[in-house]
Amino acid sequence: MSVRSLNWVKFGGLVGLAFVLGLLFAGLLDLPKSSVAQARLTQATPAAARVQTPMLASARPLADLSEAFADVAEHVRASVVYVRSQRTERSGQRRLPPGFEDFFFGNPRNGRQPQIERGSGSGFIVSSDGYILTNNHVVDGADQVMVRLPDRHEYTAKVVGTDATTDVAVIKIDAKGLTPAALGSSASVRIGEWVLAIGTPLNENLSFTVTSGIVSAKGRGQLSLPGRTERSIQDFIQTDAAINPGNSGGPLVDVRGEVIGINSAIASQTGYNVGYAFAIPIDLAKQVMNQLITKGRVERAALGVLVQDATPADAKYVGLDEIRGVRVDNFPQDGSPAKTAGIQQGDVIIAVDGQPVEYVAQLQQLVGFRKPGDVVKVEVARKGGVRKTYNVHLIAASEPRETKKGTDGREDNHEDSEKGTNLERIGLTVIPLTQQMIT
């Protein structure tokens, strides 16, 4: 072997020895076997460990309530509908003195088209063959009513009947196999019970909106609500469930899935929900509904009295231990059956046919849905603690006049009289010229 070859062998041996010693030294120092970059590329991220659901016994009732709300909403969903109405302005609604029409409205022959008023609300199915309950103010005076079901099918609806006194209306669509809502009893509802308000608030993009709350109060009346008549029956269920324009006519449902009221009105300075909403009791709505379906209108009976809720002074005057009942203020007509039977001004009506009367709306319902000619036993409390019971023959109630509040807060009774004609759209009030005004 040449000297040159021997040197290469020695060099290779030294390199190998250095490599072995390097490995041994690295093992002794416990150096990483790969770079940081290599570790980031090759190291797998461990899966997140699943945390066990906490078993909180105290939260179980809340979970049950949440599930109940969801079940109720799912159960009622197939019964709640969206209602859209349309009304064409009629020349008779302008109520201007003769000769003023062209000045204010223009001549129809010159191209002015009648205005179209559109509205929307909610409703709920009450029979499998297409009867639907809603509010009177949703469809009142409508030329066309459309109903959209939860499955998005749309139908033209017929207005079966309306009742301004209770703000209840019945409409019908030509459909079969629908899912009616279960109607409960508003009489058994207790203040503080949980309820759900369902409908289409604000616009149709918010169809089937569900809000929750409680029954805040019952028997709410004497509310300044537009569109009510002089004989309006105001016996509302109050709730703090959020109700907004468009919810009108939708159901107020309890946690058993039964309808206990028809969402009808809100008390608000802004026009939107502020926590005070009102629903028509379903017991009252059912009485109206049955007559509208069978007769197309509501026939009511009357005692022939003008009344108001009893005051503390009234209770003391007639010797009542508690403040309740309805005070007789006057008799609106000659031959009033109540007056003929012996009832006097200042008497406080405390019961009808043995059923206690607490406030005006109760008396309206106990009497109004009887038949003209029926005889009812009216118990009154009189000055000095006297108690009397009279048999009163009911008469047919006259048709109420509708009163609406104008933009200035005054009432417009839709009659041309010395009170004037209020034209909200143009901001003008006109009245007949009288001799006193001339002089």
The tokens for 150 are 């939860």
Superfamily of domain 79-172 in the CATH hierarchy: Trypsin-like serine proteases (2.40.10.10)
Contact criterion met (CB below 8 Å) for 370 and 376: yes
Q: Which residues are catalytic?
A: 137, 167, 248
Quick one: what percent of the chain has pLDDT higher than 90?
Answer: 49
What pTM was estimated for this model as a whole? 0.71
pLDDT score recorded for residue 3: 58
Regarding predicted confidence, which is higher, 424 or 22? 22
* Mean pLDDT, residues 254-266: 93
Summarised one tens digit per residue, pLDDT across range 26-81 is: 555 555 555 555 555 455 556 678 888 787 888 888 888 889 899 999 999 999 99
pLDDT score recorded for residue 58: 82
Determine whether domain 301-396 maps to CATH 3.40.50.1100.
no
What is the CATH code of the structural domain delimited by 69-73+183-291? Answer: 2.40.10.10
Contact criterion met (CB below 8 Å) for 337 and 209: no
What radius of gyration do the chain's Cα atoms show?
37
In angstroms, rounded to a whole number, what is the distance separating the alpha carbons of residues 181 and 132? 10
The SS3 of residue 269 is coil
* Residue given tokens 């009304």 in the structure block: 87
Domain 69-73+183-291 matches domain 79-172 at the CATH topology level = yes
Find the range with the poorest average confidence among 52-56, 75-79, 334-338, 368-372: 52-56
Going by pLDDT thresholds of 50, 70 and 90, the confidence category of residue 204 is: confident
Find the range with the poorest average confidence among 82-96, 185-199, 310-324: 82-96
Going by pLDDT thresholds of 50, 70 and 90, the confidence category of residue 235 is: confident
* Domain boundary assignment for the chain: 69-73+183-291, 79-172, 301-396, 404-438
In angstroms, rounded to a whole number, what is the distance separating the alpha carbons of residues 302 and 221? 19
How many whole angstroms from its chain centre is CA 87? Answer: 22
145, β-bridge pairs: 85, 157
**What is the overall mean pLDDT for the chain?**
79
First to last CA, the chain: 152
Taking the CA atoms of residue 141, residue 81, residue 235 and residue 163 in that order, the dihedral angle to the nearest 10 degrees is 30
Alpha-helical runs (H) found in 78-171: 101-105, 136-139
Opening angle at CA 339, ends 337 and 340, nearest 5: 60
In this predicted structure, the answer to whether residue 270 has a pLDDT above a threshold of 80 is no
